[in-house]
Chains A and B, each alone.
Chain A
Amino acid sequence: MSKTFFRHLRALALTAGFIGMLGLAGCGKQEDKPAANADAPAAQAAARVYLVGVESAYAPFSSENEQKEVVGFDIDVMKALAKKIGIEVKFVPTPFEGFFNFLAQGDRDLLISAITITDERKKTVNFSDPYFIATQAIAVPAADTRVHKMADLKPLAVGTQSATSGDELVQQVLGQNNPKIKRFDSTPLALKELESGGVDAVVADEPVVKNYIANNPGSKLRTVNDDSFPKEDYGIAVRKDDPELLARINKGLAEMKADGSFAAISAQYFGK
């Protein structure tokens, strides 16, 4: 053994010990976790608060008011639903990027945020029965004359919100590798880009676009509806390993629709 080796022996031993400890701690955690997860639902079912993930930049479905509270159609529906099925909920603003991952990992228990039910998403999460039907709409500058239907968007630069059904639709029409599709973290950002001329059109959920234009008259935008847009169902997302919560939610939704409370909330926001 060389003199250099012995000189550094203490440092080497300490490092090896530290790494070993980390490894043991890591292994230990892995073994504890499955056991803990098995106990958790039973213990928590009693009086737990369900964390509901919302993307709070999607008026009129969910947005933040001046008091920094989350409000909107989705919030009211969820609150009424929670009361009906007897659970406590807490709304947590969540970025839409990685939305479903938050649910799948357990950081959220429910997701409600004008989420369109699609087959691709059903691979990751389960959805409740539809609670709202919507379509996409195209937002263009008020002075625009080129866009009358979806196909007219082909040569243009189109903005969307990343990971939404609108994004999927635009990819189908323009091609998924088209560099003229500009994706943003939220729909208001995409609409802002439209206002400043960075894109020629924005494709997003119709109620949200209409709400933005109504509340921002200085934006000088208008909507173009294309009847060929598919009707989309909004659903509440639940983890795949929680079928009983899903059943309770579906029951609650059915009851709300039957006794008119759902219609009341809908009338408040959409007048019908």
Chain B
Amino acid sequence: MDFRWSIIEGYAPLFAKGVLMTFQVSLISIVLGTILGLLIGMLRLSDVTRGLWKWPLRAGRWVAGFYVAFFRGTPLFVQIMLIHFAVMPALVHPQNGLLISGELARIIKQDYGAFLSGTVALSLNAGAYISEIFRAGIQSIERGQSYAAASLGMNYGLTMRYVVLPQAFRRMLPPLGNEAITLLKDSSLVSAIGLAELAYAARTVAGTYARYWEPYITISVIYFAMTICLAMLVARLESKYNAPHRR
């Protein structure tokens, strides 16, 4: 097997920019997905038996349920394609965009179109999975904690903020780390809509030279290094939040 590593050298700047872009897309999607997941997860767990908010909350729960089902039930690749080629052109269009139109739409579409679509798709997808992680984490805290908080006079918001969520967070760290690593690798799918990230660089080299070992081994090593770093980061967070050892 003869390797022609020289073909990578010619495209090295593309690989370097690709690493940066992958990092950016993954970071933003993880952060947004976590926030979205927290909100959706709490929404699905909440209920109000009487009063003004009963029906709006139940409607919101239904919408959240549908959102989670859709984004877990369709392939991420399909979601990326749909959002970039169908949803975004309807929302952001120079002529008749529903959300943004005119010159701003043109600038956004030109310079950030693929980045925006990719990040939106990844965030929505991550939000759906993370909402289930949050739901599991919150539900795993035994009810005694909430009763004790109530007996101290805390309302729902205070209970969540000071008693339940901090404990739940510790339990959720391993699956959240999992989701972050998965998201990092799934960001490679965004290369299909032309975003110049890492997998895109490999596909460019492979396309130009019809050689597959060199570019794909290169990005495998890079992705592996990135996920190892991420895993180490999560491990450090876990040890930081772990209950101290009893002597």
Residues of A near any B CB (own CB < 8 A):
97-98, 100-101, 120-121, 123-124, 157, 159, 162-164, 167-168, 171, 176-177, 179, 182-185, 189, 192-193, 195-200
Given contacts A176-B10, A177-B11, A179-B196, contact A197 B208 (CB under 8 A): no
A198 to B107: give the CA distance in the assembly, Å.
9
Asked if A197 and B209 sit within 8 Å, CB to CB, the answer is no
Asked if A101 and B212 sit within 8 Å, CB to CB, the answer is yes
Residues in A whose Cβ lies below 8 Å from that of B44: none
Asked if A97 and B207 sit within 8 Å, CB to CB, the answer is yes
Q: Which of B12, B194, B212 contacts A183 (CB 8 A)?
A: B194
B94 interfacial contact with A, CB 8 Å: yes
A174 to B206: give the CA distance in the assembly, Å.
19
Asked if B194 and A176 sit within 8 Å, CB to CB, the answer is no
B114 interfacial contact with A, CB 8 Å: yes
A223 to B193: give the CA distance in the assembly, Å.
23
Greatest chain B CB density within 10 A among A121, A179, A192, A197 is at A197
Binds A, one of B57-65, B85-93, B124-132, B223-231: B85-93
Greatest chain B CB density within 10 A among A124, A157, A164, A196 is at A196
Tell me how many residue pairs across A and B have CB atoms closer than 8 Å: 81
Q: Which of B11, B114, B207 contacts A198 (CB 8 A)?
A: B114
Asked if A167 and B110 sit within 8 Å, CB to CB, the answer is no
Chain B contact residues, majority secondary structure? helix
Given contacts A189-B85, A196-B93, contact A162 B207 (CB under 8 A): yes
Residues in A whose Cβ lies below 8 Å from that of B192: 184-185
Given contacts A176-B14, A196-B85, A197-B110, contact A124 B203 (CB under 8 A): no
Asked if B203 and A183 sit within 8 Å, CB to CB, the answer is yes
Query: Would you give the shortest CB distance from B120 to chain A, in whole angstroms?
Result: 14
Residues in A whose Cβ lies below 8 Å from that of B170: none
Q: Which of B89, B93, B109, B194 contacts A184 (CB 8 A)?
A: B194
Nearest residue, chain A, Cβ from B15: A177
Residues of B near any A CB (own CB < 8 A):
10-14, 17, 85, 88-89, 93-94, 105-106, 109-110, 113-114, 192-194, 196, 200, 203-204, 206-210, 212
Query: Would you give the shortest CB distance from A166 to chain B, in whole angstroms?
Result: 11
A37 to B150: give the CA distance in the assembly, Å.
76
Nearest residue, chain A, Cβ from B203: A162
Asked if B212 and A162 sit within 8 Å, CB to CB, the answer is no
Asked if A182 and B114 sit within 8 Å, CB to CB, the answer is yes
Query: Would you give the shortest CB distance from A57 to chain B, in whole angstroms?
Result: 14
A3 to B94: give the CA distance in the assembly, Å.
74
Given contacts A100-B210, A185-B192, contact A157 B203 (CB under 8 A): no
Query: Would you give the shortest CB distance from B215 to chain A, in whole angstroms?
Result: 12
Asked if A163 and B208 sit within 8 Å, CB to CB, the answer is yes
Residues in A whose Cβ lies below 8 Å from that of B204: 162, 183
10 contacts between A and B (CB under 8 A): A98-B206, A100-B210, A124-B210, A167-B208, A171-B208, A193-B113, A197-B93, A197-B110, A199-B110, A199-B194
Asked if A196 and B114 sit within 8 Å, CB to CB, the answer is no
Please name 8 further chain A to chain B contacts, defined as beta carbons within 8 Å, in addition to the given A182-B194, A196-B93, sorted by A numbering: A97-B207, A171-B208, A176-B10, A176-B14, A182-B196, A183-B204, A198-B110, A198-B113
Asked if B109 and A196 sit within 8 Å, CB to CB, the answer is yes
A100 to B206: give the CA distance in the assembly, Å.
11
A198 to B92: give the CA distance in the assembly, Å.
11
